[in-house]
């Protein structure tokens, strides 16, 4: 592409130095790339600046609100929302170019199948393929949900499914996966608590057991080798801690700490 597209790319980051360069290189066709960082201690911000991104430093507000902050900084009529560990392959870039420069703007948003990789393997089972995600949309027609976790783009108007993928390279380090489980399970427990749900360590254990069986047997995790076993276990662990933490929140609300 010899000319930049009338497109803004929105990305939120925190300590994404190992992922960000490849992500940004895959979208160098965009007129504007907005990076909203929430306090990286590595060289994430330096990488974004070196690519000519528009960088904002913003305290963390939860996934939905953080991404909405990034969308609000976009100036072009079309927005492509990405995570730092995602890539746009050439075939997908060509389709995006056609949409934002040639197609009539009747369709307000587009969904992509997402090809998820874990420890070098493209995961086709466990519900990881085709994993459709809405990521390309007209600026005036898309907003983020306000969810703390598992946020999504809400489109006012018609949405079309495309047949070209986004590549997603998930975290491979087990230590980092455990940190993410701690973070995501906390957010999930807070959302569940706010909606009035209740739990116990026994129900948390039962839910985790069912999640493992569902993922590994019913959703074909066993077909993905050691990667499928690892993913089935980590999803089960995440489920356990989400509902075990929910019990903690339930108990804390019933028995608040005494004021000094």
Q: Mean pLDDT across the chain, nearest whole number?
A: 95
Domain boundaries, the chain: 5-169, 174-254
Q: What is the pLDDT of residues 241-257, one digit of tens each?
A: 999 999 999 999 887 76
Q: Which of 13, 120, 105, 5 is nearest to 56 (CA)?
A: 13
Amino acid 147: pLDDT: 81
Please check the confidence at residue 104 and state whether its pLDDT lies above 90. no
Q: What is the pTM of this model?
A: 0.90
What is the fold, at CATH topology level, of the domain defined by 5-169?
A: Spore Coat Polysaccharide Biosynthesis Protein SpsA; Chain A (3.90.550)
pLDDT of residue 1: 58
Q: How do residues 31-74 score in pLDDT, each as one tens digit? A: 999 999 999 999 999 999 999 999 999 999 989 999 999 999 99
């Amino acid at each position: 592409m010899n000319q930049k597209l009338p497109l803004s790319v929105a990305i939120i980051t925190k300590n994404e130095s190992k992922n960000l360069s490849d992500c940004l290189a895959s979208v160098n066709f965009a007129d504007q790339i907005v990076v909203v960082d929430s306090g990286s201690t590595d060289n994430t911000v330096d990488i974004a600046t070196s690519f000519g991104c528009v960088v904002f430093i913003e305290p963390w507000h939860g996934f939905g609100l953080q991404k909405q902050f990034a969308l609000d900084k976009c100036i072009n009529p079309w927005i492509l929302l990405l995570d730092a560990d995602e890539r746009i392959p050439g075939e997908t870039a060509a389709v995006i170019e056609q949409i934002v420069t040639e197609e009539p703007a009747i369709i307000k948003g587009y969904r992509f199948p997402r090809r998820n990789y874990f420890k070098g393997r493209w995961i086709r089972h466990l519900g990881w393929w085709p994993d459709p995600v809405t990521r390309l949309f007209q600026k005036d027609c898309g907003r983020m949900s306000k969810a703390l976790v598992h946020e999504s783009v809400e489109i006012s108007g018609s949405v079309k499914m495309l047949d070209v993928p986004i590549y997603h390279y998930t975290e491979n380090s087990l230590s980092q996966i455990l940190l993410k489980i701690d973070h995501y399970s906390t957010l999930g427990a807070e959302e569940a608590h706010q909606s009035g749900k209740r739990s116990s360590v026994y129900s948390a254990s039962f839910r985790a057991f069912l999640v493992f069986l569902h993922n590994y047997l019913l959703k074909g995790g066993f077909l993905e080798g050691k990667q499928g076993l690892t993913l089935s276990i980590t999803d089960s662990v995440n489920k356990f801690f989400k509902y075990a933490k929910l019990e903690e929140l339930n108990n804390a609300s019933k028995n608040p700490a005494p004021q000094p």
